Amino acid sequence: MRMVLLYRDLRSVDNRALDYAIDGETEVVTAFCSTPKQWLQHHLSPMQADLIFRRLNSLSDELRNLNIPLLYHECDDFTAANQWLVKKALELGVNEVVLNKNYEVNERQREETLEQALTEVGITLTSIDDKCAVPPGSVVNKQGAYYKVFTPFKKAWLALGYTPQVVPSRASVPVKQPLSDCFTDKVTYSYPRQDSRLWPVDSTAILQRLRAFSAARVDDYQRQRDFPAVDGTSQLSPYLAIGALSVRQCIARLYYDQPSASLSEGAVVWLSELIWREFYQHLVYFEPKLCKGEGYLDWEKHLDWSIGSEVTFEHWCRGDTGYPIVDAAMKQLNQTGWMHNRLRMIVASFLTKDLQIDWRKGERYFMTKLVDGDFASNNGGWQWCASTGCDGQPYFRIFNPITQGEKFDTKGDFIRHWLPELAEVPERYIHKPWAWQGFENLQYVAPIVDHKTQREITLQLYKNAKDRH
């Protein structure tokens, strides 16, 4: 018998570990361990926890139709999960445990410890690269080192001539012995959950979302993706984050719907975004320090974040800063667990460079809220905005929250949706309502900081750090 361990690869289609395990002769079981104390340490959002739970219900049915039981167990952390897995593998007579590799530090340590424990009892562990389309270590420069800048990484990635191969689901031989740990809707799942029903979890609905975006909207992606009031993005990130959808499925669908010799401009830009995801995953693999709260650039340790206050941080968290585009974005995050990518950059820049608050606090807050929380992408995005990361924006590039709003939500449609208290503000003043004569009658706060003043403080803050280094 083979046991396939599931983690952030919650799918039966294009799951490399599952496909490896199914040979038409060997019985196969899958297993998933929820680890609430570990999840709490990793700041897993209640909404993503709910998405995972709902997806497990759906996946359990899919696997059952393939004659593959899904075993489930809840325990505190990775250590306890490994102990249960070894015990269960021995109890079932498992000869080989199979898993898809993870690249974050705790997850890699878990897999190393599990391999040692399994080896001691005579069970083989097989680990497979599945998370990325192109595994870490396969995109390197002429010196054999990983790329530290995205553009040459992307060129090298494309130069590989990668052709996506999506593996369909297959049935296994039925498991003969009765199992008592199969997943049901009555399982213990004690981690806090927040309603994630905005995101369907059955595979058919997920694939329909991918197909609808690729067929109808991707060609306009480069023109529409920066405007939060427009449905211009794929919104597939929650499924990529928990592995309900693979990056290979996304790329394969993209090429399927673009049968001509070259991709459309919009398709090229979306493919580039998928490669950014690969870039950050590879980076976490090569730089474990990123999983330990360290900045990528050495001079980052000299940044003095002490001037930022807890009070202004709480204003930012609530969406109560007095800058409409920032506040609307934070309301969207707090209520839906998702935020438009352009807005993620705007609010991250505001936190670090208008409020001078440590990017780690923003990174952690995002993870506690995001339905699509993915450590590598979240860390990469925050360090890019804070100018402390690999190929981050220059530290002197500081988004102006007023002009960003004027550029990407010109008429204020997005702002009015999330900030109904500004519904009557004229378009001319929607991005700076304090300048409107009727402002004092609004249930809205004045700006908590002056952007121009804060910009000068930040420039000096970063200059001091680089000089000290």
Which one from 157, 199, 270, 276 is the annotated catalytic residue? 276
The answer to whether the beta carbons of residues 28 and 21 sit under 8 Å apart is: yes
Of 157, 270, 382, 384, the catalytic one is 382
Contacts (Cβ under 8 Å, ≥6 apart) of 233: 221, 224, 225, 340, 341
Which are the contacts of 137, defined by CB distance < 8 A and separation ≥ 6?
146, 285
Of 273, 287, 294, 406, the catalytic one is 273
**Active-site pick, 359, 378, 379, 384:** 359
Catalytic annotation present for 299: no
CA distances to 2, 52, 281, 399 from 93, rounded to whole Å, are: 9, 28, 35, 59
| CB-based contacts of 3, cutoff 8 Å, min separation 6 | 28, 29, 30, 31, 71, 85, 88, 89, 92, 94, 96, 97, 98
CA 272 distance to own-chain centroid: 16
- State yes or no: is 434 an active-site residue: no
Residue 305 annotated among the catalytic residues of the structure: yes
Active site includes 378?
A: no
Is 95 in the active site? Answer: no
User: Per the residue annotation, which of 84, 341, 400, 436 is the catalytic one?
Assistant: 341
DSSP string of 233-286, one letter each residue: S---HHHHHHTSS-HHHHHHHHHHT--SSS--HHHHHHHHHHHHHHHHHHHHHH
How far is residue 105's CA from residue 284's CA, in Å, rounded to a whole number?
Answer: 8
Q: State how far Cα 448 lies from the chain centre.
A: 30
Q: Of 84, 299, 305, 436, which is the active-site residue?
A: 305
Query: Does the annotation mark 406 as catalytic?
Result: no
Q: Annotated catalytic sites, by residue?
A: 273, 276, 305, 341, 359, 382
